[in-house]
């Protein structure tokens, strides 16, 4: 049991300069007994309102240096404070505020919401077990308008999809990775490096791109690129929810539409997923 969607903004200042972290936290506990379920005895139950207040107090006292460290702080607090807690799991998700710039000059206290992918992390620990940390990025929308196709697929009497040598590849990406046992990592640096690897593997070189024969191959290329470039990552999961675009037939309007006007196919949409880990 636990408390979901604990939302708050943590503000701190250094001189005149302001810094913000707006997050959503979910914290779940498993207790050493189950008397509250079997007998209605609540003596070991930490109220979910107390869980919420602990999260807010830790944000006040410790600040949020990184999402991962804040999740670790929450896990360690419950493990060291309450004997009846056998397992704790904390999920932290960040609102993507970015410092506003005016003519290239960073503003001291103004920010803009930039949906370039949402950062999240998880930390979990069993009593007498290691602290394990996961991190990720979700709702990252990507598109390339060429260098993508889909050919040679299985066909039968139900197949209506034509083969395509040149199509738009567009999707919403979810990526989650495991660090294994927690160590003293630079979580911000690693997260930024992984996001950079995702964009590099998806797009290819900026002057020519890289051909994608399928969404599946693109997913695997992203994973392989990250595992090659970021040694701290042990296991990585990638899900790519696909958005398809159909060319509008304009013959009845007396026009030839050569992939210049397209409409998105909202539903149903395809999805490709893969989990890959080191030996």
Q: Is 139 annotated as a binding residue?
A: no
| 49 annotated binding-site participant | yes
**Any binding-site annotation on 98?**
no
- Determine the longest span between alpha carbons in the chain, in angstroms: 77
Alpha-carbon distances of 173 from 35, 129, 134, 180, rounded to whole Å: 42, 32, 17, 22
Question: Is 128 annotated to bind ligand?
Answer: no
Tokens of 73: 């702080």
* Residue 223 marked ligand-binding: no
Task: Report which secondary-structure segment, H or E, holds 152.
Answer: none
What angle do the packed helices 215-229 and 187-203 form, to 10 degrees? 140
Burial 260-275 (b: 16+ CB within 10 A, else e): eeeeeeeeeeeebeee
DSSP E strands, 203-265: 235-247, 262-265
> Is residue 71 a contact partner of residue 121, using CB atoms and an 8 Å limit?
yes
Any binding-site annotation on 220? no
Where are any strands of DSSP class E within 60-189? 85-94, 97-102, 105-113, 118-126, 131-144, 169-181
> Which residues are part of a known binding site for O2?
48, 242
> Which residues are part of a known binding site for 5-hydroxyisourate?
48-49, 150, 167, 216, 242
> Which residues are part of a known binding site?
48-49, 150, 167, 216, 242
> Which residues are part of a known binding site for urate?
48-49, 150, 167, 216, 242
């Amino acid at each position: 049991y636990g408390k979901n969607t604990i939302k708050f903004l943590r503000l701190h200042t250094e001189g005149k300069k302001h810094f913000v972290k707006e997050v959503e936290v979910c914290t779940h506990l498993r207790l050493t007994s189950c008397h509250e379920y079997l007998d209605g005895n609540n003596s070991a139950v930490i109220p979910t309102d107390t869980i919420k207040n602990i999260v807010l107090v830790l944000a006040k006292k410790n600040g949020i240096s990184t999402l991962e460290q804040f999740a670790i702080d929450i896990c360690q607090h419950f493990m060291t404070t309450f004997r009846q807690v056998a397992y704790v799991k904390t999920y932290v998700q960040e609102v993507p505020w970015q410092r506003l710039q005016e003519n290239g000059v960073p503003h001291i206290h103004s920010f803009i919401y930039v949906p370039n992918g949402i950062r999240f992390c998880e930390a979990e620990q069993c009593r007498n077990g290691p602290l394990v940390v996961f991190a990720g990025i979700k709702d990252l929308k990507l598109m390339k308008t060429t260098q993508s196709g889909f050919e040679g697929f299985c066909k039968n009497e139900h197949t209506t999809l034509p083969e395509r040598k040149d199509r738009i590849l567009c999707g919403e990406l979810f990526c989650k990775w495991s660090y294994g046992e927690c160590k003293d990592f630079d979580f911000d640096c690693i997260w930024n490096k992984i996001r950079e690897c995702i964009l590099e593997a998806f797009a290819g070189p900026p002057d020519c791109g890289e051909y994608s024969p399928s969404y599946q191959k693109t997913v695997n290329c992203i994973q392989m690129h990250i595992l090659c470039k970021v040694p701290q990552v042990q296991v990585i999961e990638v899900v790519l929810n696909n958005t398809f675009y159909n060319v509008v037939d304009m013959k009845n309007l007396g026009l030839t539409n050569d992939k210049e006007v397209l409409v998105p196919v909202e539903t149903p949409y395809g999805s490709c997923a893969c989990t890959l880990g080191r030996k």
